[in-house]
């Protein structure tokens, strides 16, 4: 079945550091890929998405590129801020259906 | 505007109570969802409504009863819940139930069963 694997957290960074959160997937066909962010005490917000190979999703300084050859969708940001502290979920939708398959989530803590 | 509104934000209920969670979207989306999220875990799909009809029930216990009165509203009726049902309940919607379609989430309802 479909699955998403994310790097274990928590990830702790200093402000202005470079961020990478790894995400790889297994899916039938050609899934759409998503990153969602969940701030403390809140629901999930869509951060970015990509629907086909080589697409790059970007938002709020975050980027991720859909790499079919490596089945990956790694999240990157050049300079993190304290306000980026949250849990980040990688997810996919595949097969024409409406089920999101989530990774386990990666907690990011950014310190001054 | 990609807004899914959920009420109440917090709910405390006893194991013999009957309560409901409500969800509303005015984006013209035709698919609506209920997810359950426990602490430090990803959301788990409970139900999907597609064009106001229940299309997916992920083997959820009957003490949870979904209802879709119209294309903008989604309810989750709660009865005889257990303490282990305490969680964040997330409503979501999408334009169409297709693979490329983005699912948008509400802020959630925090449920505590005592």
Please report residues of B whose CB lies closer than 8 A to that of A34: 102-103
3-state SS class at B105: strand
Cα-based torsion angle of the residue sequence B48, A102, A106, A18 in order, rounded to the nearest 10 degrees: -110
Phi and psi, residue B5, nearest 5°: -105, 130
**Interatomic CA distance for residues A74 and B83, integer angstroms:** 37
Average pLDDT over residues A14-40: 94
Instruction: Give pLDDT, residue A70.
Output: 96
**Interatomic CA distance for residues A66 and A57, integer angstroms:** 8
**Burial group, residue B14, by CB count within 10 angstroms (0-12, 13-18, 19+):** exposed
Name the band, by pLDDT with cuts 50, 70 and 90, for residue A29: confident
Instruction: Give pLDDT, residue A112.
Output: 93
Nearest to B97 among A29, A98, A102 (CB): A98
Name the band, by pLDDT with cuts 50, 70 and 90, for residue B113: very high
Instruction: Give pLDDT, residue A96.
Output: 66
pLDDT one-digit tens code per residue, A62-77? 999 999 999 999 999 9
What beta strand segments (E) does chain A contain?
A: 3-6, 11-14, 19-21, 23-26, 32-38, 44-50, 56-59, 62-65, 75-77, 86-93, 101-102, 106-111
Average pLDDT over residues B64-87: 96
Structure tokens at B1: 């505007």
**Interatomic CA distance for residues A47 and A36, integer angstroms:** 5
Average pLDDT over residues A83-101: 89
Query: Do the Cβ atoms of B76 and B20 come closer than 8 Å?
Result: yes
The pLDDT of residue B99 is above 80: no
3-state SS class at A82: helix
More confidently predicted of A57 and A97: A57
Contact check, Cβ <8 Å, B100/A42: no
Please report residues of A whose CB lies closer than 8 A to that of B100: 32, 51, 93
CA distances to A33, B3, B58 from B30, rounded to whole Å, are 21, 14, 19
3-state SS class at B84: helix
Contact check, Cβ <8 Å, B94/A31: no
Average pLDDT over residues A42-62: 95
Closest chain A C-alpha to B114 CA, distance in angstroms: 20
Structure tokens at A62: 């975050």
| Closest residue of chain A to B91, computed from CA coordinates | A43
Instruction: Give pLDDT, residue B79.
Output: 95
pLDDT one-digit tens code per residue, B36-67? 999 989 999 999 999 999 999 999 999 999 99
Instruction: Give pLDDT, residue A9.
Output: 87
**Interatomic CA distance for residues B84 and B40, integer angstroms:** 15
């Amino acid at each position: 079945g479909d699955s998403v694997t994310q790097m274990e957290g928590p990830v702790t960074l200093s402000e202005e550091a470079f961020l990478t959160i790894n995400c790889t997937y297994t899916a039938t066909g050609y899934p759409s890929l998503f990153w969602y962010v969940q701030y403390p005490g809140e629901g999930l917000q869509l951060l970015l998405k990509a629907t086909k190979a080589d697409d790059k999703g970007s938002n709020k300084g975050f980027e991720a590129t859909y790499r079919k050859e490596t089945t990956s969708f790694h999240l990157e940001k050049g300079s993190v801020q304290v306000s980026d502290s949250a849990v980040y979920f990688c997810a996919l939708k595949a097969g024409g259906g409406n089920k999101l398959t989530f990774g386990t989530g990666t907690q990011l803590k950014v310190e001054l | 505007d990609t807004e899914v509104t959920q009420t109440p934000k917090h709910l405390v209920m006893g194991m013999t109570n009957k309560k409901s969670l409500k969800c509303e979207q005015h984006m013209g989306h035709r698919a609506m969802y209920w997810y359950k999220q426990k602490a430090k875990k990803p959301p788990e799909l409970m139900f999907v409504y597609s064009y106001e009809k229940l299309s997916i029930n992920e083997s959820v216990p009957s003490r949870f009863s979904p209802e879709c009165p119209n294309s903008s509203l989604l309810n989750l009726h709660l009865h005889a819940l257990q303490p282990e049902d305490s969680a964040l309940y997330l409503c979501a919607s999408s334009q169409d139930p297709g693979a490329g379609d983005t699912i948008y989430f509400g802020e959630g309802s925090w449920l505590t069963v005592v």
